[in-house]
Amino acid sequence: MLPKIRLAVVFHRLGPYHIARLLALAETYEVVAIELSKTTSEYLWDEVATPEAITRVTLFEAQDSREVSPAYLQKRLFEALDCYQLTAVLINGWYEKGALLANLWCLQRGIPAFVMSATTAIDFQRQWWKELVKKRIVATFSGAIVGGKPHADYIKRLGMTRKPIAAGYDVVDNAHFEQGAAEAKAQSQFYRKQYGLPAHYFLASSRFIKKKNLFRLLQAYAEYRKQALHPFDLVLLGDGELSQQIIEAVHILGLQQAVHLPGFKQYDELPIYYGLAEAFVHASTSEQWGLVINEAMASGLPVIVSKNCGCTEDLVRHGRNGYVFDPYDVSELTDCMLALHEGNQDHTMGLHSIEIIQAYSPDTFRQAVGKLVSSAKGTPDIRLKDKLIGQLVIRLLVRQ
């Protein structure tokens, strides 16, 4: 019997949605999950349990790896990776120092490295010199697993045209949300009372930061309430640096009785909020993918999604399972909310969401990784020139 292929997967921090992907991988491969930091300031997740099928290695238990010296981070990461006879390494992104150093380890050891990328051309205003640096880094990978079409297009623009690119990175545990939402609907009266939820509401879930565009969402919602007959309420899940300003905006717009702010909710509670909602709204001005859209669709919701979200092209069919809008156009968002309010009484849009999201499951991720691993054939297909220049660029970047 051939030995099982062993993969390392490097994330900054393991969150709830990573576990489903890793478990799917573990059906075929031996999986070592390298977690750089146990806690971070961006997300307030509870620590996720590690299933027995996954070997989990946490480098820093009590501090953020981004706050330690590059030399110490390299020492700890290289020591962890050296403990395992690895077939390949999957690396989340190419920007942060932990990702760069994991790639450097692969280059020095002759191990294929595959980048996991949810980056598109329109995420930020691109600067030519940074794009040249990225091209040097991208040239050192043996392939990529990306979110969808815009992400594949961008990594090809960075020079990955002769190496395998597979879609399926941005997936969630569809069953967790579909089953949890169904249970919430079956006991809707109980859960609405327990969680203080209105009879009908739009749901939004995000960090309360600028790019999530929550102030325009509130403005659009206020106008929607003026025009709609029996308008839905709005539930905003989340927390963040703009929390107080959002509360003030709700009061200024006179929406205190219609907008609900339950705060940040943990993974296990999310299906209840999805399951009892009428539709999901995501208004970001910039979003690499938007996993909350996957969650909402798996829960059977129609979705109203900004055209600047990376998932929009792949997941949203305008007029079929939801609507797409310009995040800078408040009136356009209002129109989408009104259209959904008036046109989805038979819930067919939510059924279409479930149908579409079936193609984006943890097994999709496993199959995508399988294509990359099969293509590697044990040795990275990296030109010597790209390897040498890539190592030099990485060393310079991690010292910044």
**392: CB partners within 8 A, 6+ apart:** none
139-152 per-position pLDDT tens digit: 999 999 999 999 99
For the residues 97-123, what does the mean pLDDT come to?
95
Q: Which residues contact 254 (CB under 8 A, 6 or more apart)?
A: 222
Q: Summarize the confidence of residues 269-278 as an average pLDDT.
A: 97
Distance of alpha carbon 238 from alpha carbon 324, whole angstroms: 22
d(CA 300, CA 276): 10
Alpha helix locations (H) across the chain? Answer: 16-26, 70-82, 97-109, 128-138, 149-157, 174-186, 188-195, 214-227, 243-252, 270-275, 291-298, 312-315, 330-343, 348-357, 362-376, 384-398
- Rounded to an integer, the average pLDDT of 77-99 is 95
* Interval 183-231: pLDDT, tens: 999 999 999 999 999 999 999 999 999 999 999 999 999 999 999 999 9
Alpha-carbon distances, residue 106 vs 183, 231, 393 (angstroms): 45, 55, 15
The pLDDT of 120-143, averaged and rounded, is: 93
pTM of the model: 0.94
Res 2: pLDDT:
47
Mean pLDDT in residue range 76-89: 96
Q: Give the distance from CA 62 to its chain's centroid.
A: 24
Residues 150-178: what's their mean pLDDT?
Answer: 96
Residues 350-363 have pLDDT tens digits of: 999 999 999 999 99
Mean pLDDT across the chain: 94
Task: Annotate 51-96 with three-state secondary structure.
Answer: CCCEEEEEEECCCCHHHCCHHHHHHHHHHHHHCCCCCEEEEECCCC
What is the distance between the alpha carbons of residues 367 and 391, in angstroms, rounded to a whole number? Answer: 30
Among positive and negative, which fits the CA dihedral 50, 52, 54, 56?
positive
Please tell me the distance from the alpha carbon of residue 281 to that of residue 279, in angstroms, as a whole number.
Answer: 7
